[in-house]
Chains A and B, each alone.
Chain A
Amino acid sequence: MSDLARGRRRDGNNTELEDRSHGRSRWSHCRKRGVDGSLRSRRDDYDDGEDDTHTNSRNASFTTPESRGPVSRYARRADWGSQVEEEEMKRDVQRDMQRYRRRLLAGEVTQRERKTSSGSSGSCDSKEGENVEMDEVVLLRRQKQINYGKNTLAYDRYVKEVPKHMRQPGVHPKTPNKFKKYSRRSWDQQIKLWKVKLHAWDPPAEEEGGDADAKNVEELRFEDVMDIELDFPILSDAGSGTCSFSTRNLTLEDDDCGGTPVKMQKTETTADLDMA
């Protein structure tokens, strides 16, 4: 069941698929019916409708005039497992908020933000109250999105490989700051870009169905590669198998060693290599 080949964890994967089938596109809250024709129920996770107190500048005519009375959270998330997870997330967000406030007061944030600020309008000072997002609903939603990104193998590998103080802005992905004021679209886009960048640290695909085209950051030294005798059977396969030797290695591609592509199944080659 675990979908390791796609570099994702079970938890995030299941819920995301669920959400996609309900069509969580940007405008889905305007639609009365889903793709299958059934009436849309209010969806909590990525529901556009309920939080738009900040960003809702659209006319009422954009939305179908159906009554959307407040739905109690209890009814929506009736199972205990989800309730407890939400509770845990709320507490984590509250704790994060306290930490952030302290950092603001200490003045750390303003300095760092000034350096790498992505051009948020006007002042870069996140003075308390002015540019700080405090709405719990928004914060929880953002935290959920961040969790989906952090719950991946790619993120784990990234964090292990590059310690925070070594991060270069622009090169290394940075988690968007959920406490800053952004519009809904801006935030969603930041998340999207961040997750795309994280894919650079996806693990090499294990079995078939893996991302044959994924950028593989594992670099090989030229000598290692030259040790391989290139008359190993080339297995043309759907997936690339656990390649220790990726096609991304530039030296290989340049130095066309006999014209044979280097994708190989791990099972056969490494066993032999270990002997050597």
Chain B
Amino acid sequence: MSPIPLLRYEIILILEYTRMNVCWVIHLKINQFDDTTGFWSYCCLCLLNSLAMENSPEDYKIQSFDLETQMLLKTALKDPGSVNLDKVSNIIVDQSLKDQVFSKEAGRICYTIVQAEAKQNNGSMFRRNLLNRLQQEFKEREGTRARSLQEWICFVTFICNIYDYLKVNNMPMVALVHPVYDCLMRLAQPDALMNEEEVDCLVLQLHRIGEQLEKSNGQRMDELFYLLRDGFLLQEGLTSMSRLLLLEILEFRAGGWVLSGTAHRYYYSEIAD
């Protein structure tokens, strides 16, 4: 079969899944294929892949990646032994530090890959590389914060998400407990409380993993909340939004990591206005 001359065709396939309410847009450029057969096979493959992905209720939120990377991630989910897992974990970490939406949910895709690798060949290369990369970023967190508040916030979100999802025998990883607390304590420092984004990040994480974290180490949670009380009462220059967030989290924990009905109405109807 003779190769197609170098014309670029861009074909857009739109697949809508009403159940999931997700719209997949796939750009395909066929100049990389030698013949039309190859191209259509690739199309079918992409379609099948998308279908396979959509059948699982989990939405991994990988739309922000380019197509090639998306394929790589999907392959990693199904056949981890066939891809370079170091590369995959680095891609995931890098993206988590840039993309706030992704950092909130990246734990899920990581968990699936870890499980898949363990099942396929009893390996834990992906997890090991992921954690060590995370550790590196953790060591440099102060520098990261000074350089870019966004990145720092993404990092905290990501590490908490990993703590939430990557469990060992259904227990959260002990190795992450202190680092997570260190991050949250940093967010509770006076200079950080002045930034609304940091306060917002702090309370979000506590909502998601506070209860588990307290079980892992109650004493540090107490210490954290001393700081939060002090911040709320004494910190000058806090925006009213920050004060609201802090008060809500104080009540939340006091209620056993659950907000009472009246409190819920107070806080959440207020915000809606």
Residues of A within 8 A of B (CB): 9-11, 79-85, 87-88, 91-92, 95, 150-151
Contacts and interface: CB of A to CB of B under 8 A. Distances in A.
Interface of B: 121-125, 127-129, 131-132, 134-135, 168-169, 171, 173-176
B169 A91 contact: yes
Given A9-B121, A87-B175, A151-B122, A81 B168 contact: no
A240 B168 CA distance: 42
20 contacts: A9-B121, A9-B122, A10-B123, A11-B124, A79-B131, A80-B131, A80-B132, A80-B134, A80-B135, A80-B176, A82-B128, A83-B175, A84-B175, A85-B128, A87-B173, A88-B124, A88-B168, A91-B168, A95-B169, A151-B122
Given A87-B173, A91-B168, A91-B171, A81 B121 contact: no
A9 B176 CA distance: 27
A93 B168 CA distance: 13
Contacts of A9: 121-123
A85 B124 CA distance: 8
Contacts of B127: 81, 84
Contacts of B129: 81
The main secondary structure of chain A at its interface with chain B is helix
A157 to B, nearest CB: 13
A88 B125 CA distance: 14
Contact of A81 (B132, B169, B174): B132
Contacts of B168: 84, 87-88, 91
B123 A88 contact: no
Given A80-B131, A80-B175, 15 more contacts: A9-B121, A9-B122, A11-B124, A79-B132, A80-B132, A81-B129, A82-B128, A84-B127, A84-B131, A84-B173, A85-B128, A88-B124, A91-B168, A91-B169, A151-B122
A82 B131 CA distance: 9
B239 to A, nearest CB: 36
Nearest to B121: A9
